[in-house]
Amino acid sequence: MNKQLLAAAVASALLAPVAAVADTTVQVYGRAHLSVDWLDNGVDDGLNTSSNSSRLGFRANHDLGNGLTAFVQIEQNIRFEEGSGNFSTRDSFVGLRGDFGQFRLGQFDTPLKSVRSRTDFFGDQIGDARNLTRLRDVYGNVNDFDTRFRNGIHYRTPSFSGVVFDVHYSTNTGTGATVDNDNDALSTSITYTQGNLYLAGAYERKNETKSDAIRLGATYKIGDLDLAALAQFATLKAPAGFGGIDQDADTYGIGASYKLNGKMTIKGQYYWLSADGDEFDANMAVVGLDYRIASPFRLLFAYAHTSNDDNARYSMSRGGRDTQLATAAPGLNHSGFSVGFRYDF
């Protein structure tokens, strides 16, 4: 009898957590994206292996009743090519959603960055649009408008006939505590999605650099043809002690993707940068082929080339890639050819 009571007690203890999470959905997901790349920075060239924003993530949702859902995500970068990675380095947050929209806290992509993600046909490949939306000012300082905000507070409205507003505030884009919020930042957007049409406008400002940017994006699908366009208008503030000369830098991009059949898709995009000053412009062209062997697994081929004016130093191998060839000097052209595997699960 004592053995039966003990068994019943153990069973109750084991089943209790199951009952507590009966309304919880947990998902493990990820992406393994690796490529072999020949990269040339105008001075040196070489064959490289790169892990390109490969990731492992965990998501959970819990139905709280009354139309409310709690959710959490933890996502980390996995360096398959070097056998390393850091936990929760990618979008990681906890939040609450309901009829009011959704509210979340953590570190994750900004609304401005999301516009680029929706319009970029070569995300995490050579020729990624971030090669020309991440800007280098006349003093050589990098102004990155495609980051994740640390210490983020984000609110998204419900959809109003396809229109959604996002407000994302960071109390401190650095690490540790802050008492004056000198390094805070704001990113906002308004998007419209209706059928095959997507339109977006976003604004972002970081107090640390005082630089800001407006980004406009659009995509449209016509049968097997996808079209995309992006425009970014940035003002790069001069760092303290550099004479106070600001620089305006405008980036424009167009792209297209066409599904040849159920397995093959051809794609291409062209971006160009127009910046104040003497010879700071650049342009980048990339073409590629995606071959989907099965739903989760595809082969990726791409060739990209970036041309720099005499004082510009932009690449075609940056943005979402863990192996990047350094820009050797201003005014040099960069090119590369890539063959990759991508497996999503």
Per-residue pLDDT, 170: 97
Q: Which residues pair with 101 in a beta bridge?
A: 98
Per-residue pLDDT, 242: 60
| Position with higher pLDDT, 16 vs 338 | 338
Compute the distance between CA of residue 144 and CA of residue 64 in angstroms, rounded to an integer: 38
Per-residue pLDDT, 141: 82
Compute the distance between CA of residue 344 and CA of residue 241 in angstroms, rounded to an integer: 48
Assign residue 64 a region (left: φ > 0; alpha: ψ between -120 and 50; beta: otherwise).
Answer: alpha
Per-residue pLDDT, 259: 98
- Please report, for residues 53, 187, 237, 281, 307, the alpha-carbon distance to residue 248 in angstroms, rounded to integers and kept in the order given: 30, 19, 9, 11, 20
Per-residue pLDDT, 4: 53
Q: What is the mean pLDDT of residues 4-27?
A: 57
CATH number of 2-344: 2.40.160.10
User: Per-residue pLDDT for 229 more than 80?
Assistant: yes
Please identify which residue in the block is written with the tokens 């507590």.
20
Q: What is the mean pLDDT of residues 79-103?
A: 91
Per-residue pLDDT, 87: 79
Q: What is the mean pLDDT of residues 257-264?
A: 96
User: Per-residue pLDDT for 15 more than 90?
Assistant: no
To the nearest whole number, what is the mean pLDDT of the chain?
A: 91
Domain boundaries, the chain: 2-344
**Percent residues over pLDDT 70 in the chain:** 92
Compute the distance between CA of residue 165 and CA of residue 191 in angstroms, rounded to an integer: 7
Residues 6+ apart with CB under 8 A from 340: 33, 34, 35, 36, 52, 125, 299, 300, 301, 302
Quickly count: other Cβ atoms within 10 Å of residue 158's Cβ: 13
| The pair of three-digit structure tokens given for residue 271, joined into one six-digit string | 């971006």
- pTM of the predicted structure, to 2 decimals: 0.89
Per-residue pLDDT, 22: 60
Q: What is the mean pLDDT of residues 162-169?
A: 98
Q: Of 130-139, 281-290, 331-340, which range is least confident? A: 130-139
